[in-house]
């Protein structure tokens, strides 16, 4: 059977986690001593929100803007009205780094999601230590024990958690966590193909009160409109914003889709 994008990425991350010689107790002490977070979930509960992503490249698209300045990009996103940032910290597959996250967060006042493949308790601690306000847990990448343990640890450390799903089965697994934020990724992490109907299809299954975030396949306002109509509170957008000639204006145009939608 051919190796998928997800197989390769997870294999690399789990190998790195297995080689990590740091002690969890030391990481926990360092994480617990970090300054207060900014409140990622809270930022998404004030009208239709845009989570704007700092993304250099991807396994499927290659380079998007390999030499981007995370400070300049983060400030443009904030000027455009982004409610929060998402910053890729995976180096090998996305060209990101913890330095990108730290630089972007220091340049703005809005909260930041660490976008990466969390596979260990150390990854959760690292998110807090590098300055993230929220961490991503991908249901497809974790078993139920890992999901429960990492979700509880993140909350203990003050991090908000975006629990990412792709289908009904993953959503059912996610709901066992009593999550505050559900992200529906319209990109299949096996093939990396995008299904723009996925988020709309899953929306009715997400309980009221849970923040709903649609991810991937959002190229502009036309793609955001059905997501607003389906009840999504936010969109997470990367490639189209990074490629936009005026990044602040591109964020503003996405935000405008939610205006007057009865939210």
Mean pLDDT across the chain, nearest whole number? 92
pLDDT of 181 reads 98
Confidence of residue 260 (pLDDT cuts 50, 70, 90): low
Q: Which domains does the chain have, with CATH numbers?
A: 5-11+38-256 (3.20.20.70)
List C-alpha distances in Å: 23 to 17, 55, 123, 255: 12, 30, 12, 43
- Residue 116 burial class via C-beta count within 10 angstroms: exposed 0-12, middle 13-18, buried 19 and up: buried
pLDDT at 1 over 50: no
List C-alpha distances in Å: 47 to 12, 14, 70: 38, 38, 26
pLDDT of 150 reads 98
Q: How far is the C-alpha of 191 from the C-alpha of 18, rounded, in Å? A: 26
pLDDT of 189 reads 67
List C-alpha distances in Å: 260 to 48, 225, 255, 263: 10, 12, 11, 7
Question: pTM for this structure?
Answer: 0.93
pLDDT of 4 reads 66
DSSP-based three-state secondary structure for 50: strand
pLDDT at 156 over 90: yes
Angle value at C-alpha 176, between 170 and 180, nearest 5 degrees:
90
Enter the tokens of residue 216. 């991937």
**Beta carbons of 113 and 89 less than 8 angstroms apart:** no
pLDDT of 3 reads 52
Residues with catalytic function: 53, 55, 115, 164, 185, 215-216
> What angle, rounded to 10 degrees, do the helices at 121-129 and 24-32 form?
30
Q: How far is the C-alpha of 19 from the C-alpha of 11, rounded, in Å? A: 12
Span 206-253, pLDDT tens digits: 999 999 999 988 999 999 999 999 999 999 998 999 999 999 999 999
- Half-sphere exposure in the Cβ direction for 47 (13 Å, CA): 12
| pLDDT mean over 70-94 | 95
Span 2-38, pLDDT tens digits: 456 777 888 888 888 888 789 999 999 999 999 999 9
Span 44-81, pLDDT tens digits: 998 899 999 999 988 777 888 888 999 999 999 999 99
Q: How far is the C-alpha of 198 from the C-alpha of 162, rounded, in Å? A: 17
Q: What are phi and psi of 217, to 5 degrees?
A: 75, 20
Span 111-141, pLDDT tens digits: 999 999 999 999 999 999 999 999 999 999 9
């Amino acid at each position: 059977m051919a190796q998928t994008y997800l197989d390769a990425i997870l294999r690399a991350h789990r190998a790195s986690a297995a080689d990590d010689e740091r002690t969890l107790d030391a990481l926990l002490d360092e994480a617990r001593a970090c300054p207060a977070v900014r409140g990622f979930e809270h930022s998404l509960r004030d009208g239709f929100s845009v989570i704007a992503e700092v993304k250099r490249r991807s396994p499927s698209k290659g380079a998007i803007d390999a030499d981007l300045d995370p400070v300049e990009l983060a400030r443009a996103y904030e000027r455009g009205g982004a409610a929060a940032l998402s910053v890729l910290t995976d180096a090998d597959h996305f060209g990101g780094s913890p330095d990108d996250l730290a630089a972007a967060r220091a340049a703005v006042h809005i909260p930041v999601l660490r976008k990466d493949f969390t596979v260990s308790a150390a990854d959760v601690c690292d998110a807090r230590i590098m300055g993230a306000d929220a961490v991503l847990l991908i249901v497809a990448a974790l078993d139920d024990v890992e999901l429960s343990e990492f979700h509880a640890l993140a909350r203990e450390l003050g991090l908000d958690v975006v629990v990412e799903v792709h289908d009904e089965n993953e959503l059912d697994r996610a709901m066992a966590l009593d999550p505050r934020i559900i992200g529906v990724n319209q990109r299949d992490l096996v093939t990396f193909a995008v299904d723009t109907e996925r988020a709309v299809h899953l929306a009715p299954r997400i309980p009221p009160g849970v923040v709903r975030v649609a991810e991937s396949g959002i190229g502009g306002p036309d793609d955001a409109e059905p997501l607003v109509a389906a009840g999504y509170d936010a969109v997470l957008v990367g490639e189209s914003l990074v490629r936009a000639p005026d990044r602040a204006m591109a964020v503003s145009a996405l935000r405008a889709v939610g205006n007057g939608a009865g939210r």
